[in-house]
Amino acid sequence: MLPCILRRALGRSFWFVLAALCSAPAPAMIITVGQSGIPGNCTRPTLDEAMQKARENPGPDEIWVTNDVQPGTYDGQHLTIDSLDVDIIGGFDNCWSPSPTGRTRITGDGASPVLKIRGSGVVNLKQLEIMDGGSGSVPSGARHGAGVDYSGRGSLLLEDVILRHNVNGQYLDGAGGLSFEGTGGIAHLQFLDDVSIDTNFGNGAIVFGSAVLTMDGTRNTFKQNRGAGLRIESPAVADIGAAGDVFEFNETYGVEFIHHADTSGPMESHLYAASQQGGPGFRGNRRGAIQIDAPAHSAGVYTVCVKGANFREHVLTDAHPIGGAPDAAYGSLVRATGPLARLQMETHCVYPPAAGTRIESNAMHDNVMAEGKPLIAVGDGAIAIIDRAVISDNTANAIFSANLGRPASSAGLHVYNALVFRNILRDDVFEALHGAFMSAVNLTAVANDGTFGQTLLAIDAAALGVLDSIIDQPQPLLQVEGSRFGVNVQRVLARNRSGTSAGDVVIEGRAAFDAGYGLLPTSLGVDVAPAAAGDAVDLYGRPRSVDTAGIPNVFGSRDLGAVELQLADYDTILADGFDPAAGPRTREAGEVR
């Protein structure tokens, strides 16, 4: 099968080289669909007949779908592909056209999937608009896609394809646009450029079974679906490197990861920035951007690695989409639950393998959480690591929270090199509750406002450690309820030391910031902290442990907070134009606005 896949990657002009290597005995065939007759140069007048022709010539085949047909020719379709190697390409003006000029619309009958794909074939869909499909009978149709329904062990590629207005009656569990199941072997789903899955009743797409989703093209969107934009169920995994606003205005989550008990692990999915354009964007999803649920069972951990993503303009509700009552699962921007859930919003994720010029830090700004909900929540034993994040202009009860509204557990939330500023908060910035393990290293929290009563809160926490950080807030620094045994504040520059113990090291005073919330050379907090293994760069990816000339080291040569002063001699201006008194010369994704 591999040579046939290569043929598709290289194009038809290479077929004469690879034809002998492909497993199909018949030569490649181009089947054109349009007004029938030799003068029209058309092979078949309908899609059904074109599919039958492809079955008679078991590929690899290409079906060119023209717009030169009678009205209604492509309406009410319920097409089936079973173990065929076939490209279906729309957008041709007529059967003489050498290349597409647009898309072709294919509609369903409202009761069945528009396109059902089974078996082990290599299927490519290009320049099509697929609409008005149904999922079959309810509830058995919940696991089927209404637009495209795939189950097999081959591959499916989409390019310049729209899946729109398809209906799955079981919309919280079913796929409106695309259902992709790997069964009998590993199945591969790939999105190239210009794939839009929008306004479907149900989740936009579900990928499950032994399946792998790769999405590295441009202008791909999951938008305004009545459910999640994308749902990944283990053992399926996803590698998403698309840029722009990929997950927008979906009824529940932008993307949801569910780890099932009947799968073995460990497994890992990735959302990352493929270039300096930034990583996948999340905007306006109504109940959260990312949800990870991995309850306790025999399988290994499920890790979701996020680099360079942009989360913005969510106004969240915690109302259940059916009953309308508040639901603990909704209302936070990013949420991880279950002892097998791992969220790594950090630079240490091993994927992609080389840094190159990609953006690594994540940005969260202009989001409003539901009443009582934090921005980032972990519970039920989940663990989250957040390294290099810019978090600003959000409204929430807290920024970081573990076990809020959940049973006592060993949930862990660990934050490094994060800048938290200009947020409106109701309770606190950082809260460790009911057995949680939480830490903040190189944190800068400044200019946050609202009704919150303290910056750090520990209630019956297993551990709360804040190290080498700046907390420039007028509120009391710390409140502890229950045991203080695991509470540790070391080398923190703060306006007060309220709530701390005698063993805590707090530098009382005000930080002097530049425009990017890095310290000025004359500020408290410069050259205070010792080096830390595995933490070589600051928020903006610049070196740590820069020893500023003329400043005596206290515990070491590192600066407190998220940003390291880069000038060994602070009378020097670097060649790139960076002036510490003026802040960053230009704003890159992940930096402050």
DSSP 513-548: B-TTSPBPTTSTTTT-BPP-TT--B-TTS-BS----
CB 546 within 8 A of CB 534: no
Q: pLDDT at residue 461 above 50?
A: yes
In this prediction, residue 13 has a pLDDT band, given cuts at 50, 70 and 90, of very low
Of 508, 509, 437, 440, nearest in space to 468 by CA: 440
- Decide if pLDDT at 9 tops 70: no
Residue 302 has pLDDT above 80, yes or no: yes
When pLDDT is averaged across residues 422-432 and rounded to a whole number, the result is: 97
pLDDT over 50 at 489, yes or no: yes
Residue 290 pLDDT more than 70?
Answer: yes
106, 74 Cβ separation under 8 angstroms: yes
| Residue 457: φ, ψ to 5° | -135, 130
Q: Beta-strand (E) ranges in 147-300?
A: 148-152, 155-164, 175-191, 195-198, 203-215, 221-223, 230-233, 237-240, 244-248, 253-258, 267-271, 280-283, 288-293
What does the alpha-carbon distance between residue 536 and residue 543 come to, in Å, rounded to a whole number?
6
Give mean pLDDT, residues 386-398: 97
Q: Is residue 352 classed exposed, middle or buried when 0-12, 13-18 and 19+ CB atoms within 10 A define those classes?
A: middle
pLDDT of 364 above 60: yes
Q: What are phi and psi of 3, to 5 degrees?
A: -60, -35
The three-class DSSP label of residue 237 is strand
Q: What is the mean pLDDT of residues 35-50?
A: 87
Q: Which pLDDT belongs to residue 386?
A: 96
CA atoms of 484 and 473, how far apart (whole Å): 22
Least confident window among 101-115, 269-283, 486-500: 269-283
For 4, the 3-state DSSP assignment is helix
Whole-number pLDDT of residue 34? 93
pLDDT tier at 141, thresholds 50, 70, 90: low
pLDDT attached to residue 574: 37
Q: How far apart are CA 265 and CA 297, in angstroms?
A: 11
Q: For residue 23, is pLDDT > 90?
A: no
pLDDT, mean of residues 421-438: 97
pLDDT at 575 over 80: no
Residue 355's pLDDT band, with cuts at 50, 70 and 90, is: low
**What average pLDDT does the segment 245-267 reach?**
90
CA distance 63 to 51: 8
Q: Show Cβ contacts of residue 563 under 8 Å, excluding neighbours closer than 6 positions.
A: 419, 444, 516, 517, 518, 519, 538, 539, 540
Residue 491 identity (one-letter amino acid): R
Q: Which pair of structure tokens corresponds to residue 524?
A: 């408290």
pLDDT at 12 over 80: no
Contact by Cβ (8 Å): 368, 342: no
pLDDT, mean of residues 132-142: 74
pLDDT for the residue 57: 87
For 7-60, strand residue ranges (E) read: 29-33
Mean pLDDT of the chain: 88
Query: For the chain, how long is the longest CA-to-CA vector?
Result: 93
* 252's tokens: 């529940």
Structure tokens at 104: 């072709």
Please provide the size of the chain in residues: 593
Span 52-69, mean pLDDT? 92
pLDDT at position 156 over 50: yes
DSSP string, 118-179: EES-EEEEEEEEEES-B--STTGGGGSBSSEEEEESSEEEEEEEEEES-B-SSTTTSEEEEE
Q: Identify the band that residue 26 occupies on the pLDDT scale cut at 50, 70 and 90.
A: low
DSSP 440-455: EES-EEES-EES-S-S
Grade residue 140 by pLDDT with cuts at 50, 70 and 90: low
d(C-alpha 109, C-alpha 77), whole Å = 6
Average pLDDT over residues 246-259: 96
Mean pLDDT of 410-434: 97
Tokens coding 267: 């497994």
pLDDT-derived band at 353, boundaries 50, 70, 90? low
Mean pLDDT value across residues 261-279:
82
Please say if the pLDDT value at position 202 is more than 50.
yes
What tokens appear for 98 in the block?
A: 């050498």
Whole-number percent of the chain with pLDDT over 90: 75
Listed in sequence order, the residues at least 6 apart from 543 whose beta carbon sits closer than 8 Å to its beta carbon are: 536, 537, 564, 566
Residue 354: pLDDT over 70: no
pLDDT (mean) for 171-194: 93
For residue 507, count other CB atoms closer than 10 A to its CB.
16
Q: How many CB atoms within 10 Å of residue 233?
A: 17
Average pLDDT over residues 569-581: 41
Q: How confident is the model at residue 83 (pLDDT cuts 50, 70, 90)?
A: very high
**What is the amino acid identity at position 23?**
S
> What's CA 57's distance to the chain center, in Å?
41
Residue found under tokens 């929008």: 198
Residue-level pLDDT at 438: 98
Q: What percent of the chain has pLDDT over 70?
A: 89
Of 9-18, 144-153, 258-267, 362-371, which range is least confident? 9-18
pLDDT of residue 551: 92
**How far is it, in rounded angstroms, from Cα 587 to Cα 593?**
7
φ/ψ of residue 16, rounded to 5: -65, -25
